[in-house]
Amino acid sequence: MSASPSPLAPARAPSLARLLLQTAQAVQAVRAGRSLTEWLAQCPGELRPGVQALSFTVLRRLGAAQALRRRLAPRNPPPAVDNLLLCALALLWPEDAPAYAPHTVVNQAVAAVRERAAPSSAFVNAVLRRFLREQQALLAELRQDPVALYNHPSWWVDMLRRDWGELAPALLAANNERAPMTLRVNRLGPASEPTAGHDRRADYQARLAAQGLPSQAPPLPLLDQALVLDHPVPVQELPDFASGAASVQDAAAQLAAPLLIGGPGTPWPMLPAGARVLDACAAPGGKTAHLQELAGNRLDLLALDADEKRLQRVRENLARLRLDAQVRAADAGDTAAWWDGRPFDAILLDAPCSASGIVRRHPDVRWLRRDSDIAALARTQARLLDALWLLLKPGGRLVYATCSVFKDEGEHQTDAFLQRHADAKRLELPGCTGHLLPLADNGPSSVPALDGFYYALLHKA
């Protein structure tokens, strides 16, 4: 009789075949219109990290994988088989340091399909081995197909070409890179104590280094709380994360709060203590918390979001950082349903958008969006801008933000708003307002590239 495993023995890693079965389901869900984040929440916990990593890889190569499958097997196989094939073809895509050897991918894909659709195992084996034999010729063919070449829908490619011309290929390539992990060091400290000029970022950077987690500090003055880790880690490994020493937030997103609060690094005065501020689309709460961190937790801050479930994240973030805000579920554009008639000194509108600037963090976005979504989102953004502008005091400021690189959701949206409102003036801060592109030479810092964002600071005359 074999001995039972020791309870102290390390858990055995799941096989690639098992991970492929779950990854194929995730890819099938995305192709059917479901968010990958939502699907991963139901994935078994012991499989989730591996499935997420594989899903990101497959979705970053999905255009090429679909084109390959059509060439290698013109007749559509059953969905379960098709999505397993797509996953395997994406993992077989040539790269400098592949995670798995080609023979391992083929063998494990065949093992996976035997479990899900055994009669198709010989078919899957034949398709994958044919790809390995004819790889060079097949890859040459794909260079003529924009969807396969860039791994984005054709309408997305066309829109980037229209908006950004010769920068479009670089933007498409950037979307297939891994995003850096960026922290925002809490300037109030874990216990919300006054810092008296103490450099908490430098202290926290030293603590990270002591734990073998080197980081870089972006040089832009408005990013004086940001640290970019050389390598991402689970938040549980960050010093005092649970007690509020830091938050995870991309550097581009960290520009919203200082643009609205004003003061050092900006040409406009800092909002006074007690200023009445609205965060109109607050979930998941990173920018809400940042506003109070910058203001010493002294703003009269209202955080709205239309999704009550997502507001729980806002409350959790505020509680972890020991910050205060009134949190309420409401459609910000339906002001009659929630506004008490008191105007705001400042408003942050981080509007619903295509998320085209954060595709490297959410590789499913490109496959979930449709070209008609952009016009619909632009209408929503315009409705929110017009409604909230009426709630702003004369002399007040509104920051309009989207995590998008499409001009219809940024520059064109703001231009149209200024045409409609004679009392609005756009204030500029080079490197911080306008379109920020996720390219190393287009953001305020070259180490590393920021997420794609758009910011407009609007002053009410």
pLDDT digits (tens, 9 = 90+) for 128-181: 999 999 999 999 999 999 999 999 999 999 999 999 999 999 999 999 999 999
CA nearest to 59, candidates 151, 141, 137, 146: 151
pLDDT of residue 189: 75
Q: How many CB atoms lie within 10 A of CB 177?
A: 13
3-class DSSP assignment, residue 181:
coil
> Which tens digit of pLDDT belongs to each residue from 350-385?
999 999 999 999 999 999 999 999 999 999 999 999
196 has a pLDDT exceeding 60 = no
Share of the chain above pLDDT 70, in %: 94
3-class DSSP assignment, residue 182:
strand
Rounded to whole angstroms, the Cα distance separating 10 from 284 reads 35
Q: Beta partners for 326?
A: 302
Q: Residue ranges per domain, the chain?
A: 16-148, 233-460
Quick check: do 16-148 and 233-460 share a fold?
no
Residues 416/422, Cβ–Cβ less than 8 Å: no
- Stretch 417-422: mean pLDDT, rounded? 98
1 has a pLDDT exceeding 90 = no
pLDDT of residue 223: 94
192 has a pLDDT exceeding 50 = no
**Rg over CA atoms, the chain:** 24
Q: Beta partners for 435?
A: 454
pLDDT of residue 440: 77
pLDDT of residue 447: 52
Contacts of 250 (CB under 8 A, 6+ apart): 179, 180, 182, 358, 361, 450, 451
pLDDT band at 461 (very low <50, low <70, confident <90, very high): very high
Q: b or e along 17-30 (b: 16 or more beta carbons within 10 Å of the residue's beta carbon)? A: bbbbbbbbbbbbbb
pLDDT band at 56 (very low <50, low <70, confident <90, very high): very high
Count of residues making up the chain: 461
What does the block give as tokens for 138? 């097949």
Rounded to whole angstroms, the Cα distance separating 122 from 87 reads 17
3-class DSSP assignment, residue 127:
helix
HEC string for 262-306: CCCCCCCCCCCCCCEEEECCCCCCHHHHHHHHHCCCCCEEEEEEC
Contacts of 300 (CB under 8 A, 6+ apart): 274, 275, 276, 277
> Which tens digit of pLDDT belongs to each residue from 422-453?
999 999 999 999 999 999 765 444 456 899 99
7 has a pLDDT exceeding 60 = no
> Which tens digit of pLDDT belongs to each residue from 272-306?
999 999 999 999 999 999 999 999 999 999 999 99
Q: Compute CA distances 208 → 201, 229, 240, whole Å.
A: 10, 9, 11
What does the block give as tokens for 181? 């992990």
DSSP secondary structure code for residue 378 in this structure: H
Q: Superfamily assignment of 233-460 in CATH?
A: Vaccinia Virus protein VP39 (3.40.50.150)
Share of the chain above pLDDT 90, in %: 89
Mean pLDDT of the chain: 93
> Which tens digit of pLDDT belongs to each residue from 302-356?
999 999 999 999 999 999 999 999 999 999 999 999 999 999 999 999 999 999 9
pLDDT of residue 442: 53
Q: Beta partners for 48?
A: none
**Residues recognised as catalytic:** 403
Give how far the C-alpha of residue 450 lies from the chain's centroid of Cα atoms, to the nearest Å.
Answer: 11
Rounded to whole angstroms, the Cα distance separating 131 from 112 reads 18
What does the block give as tokens for 82? 């098709």
Sheet holding 182-185, edge to edge: 215-216, 226-229, 182-185, 246-248
- Stretch 59-70: mean pLDDT, rounded? 98
Residues 256/350, Cβ–Cβ less than 8 Å: yes
Q: Which residue has the tokens 């911080």?
A: 432
Q: Beta partners for 277?
A: 301, 346
Return the CATH architecture of domain 16-148: Orthogonal Bundle (1.10)
Angle at which helices 16-31 and 102-117 cross, to 10°: 70
End-to-end CA distance of the chain: 84
Rounded to whole angstroms, the Cα distance separating 40 from 52 reads 7
The letter for the amino acid at 273 is A
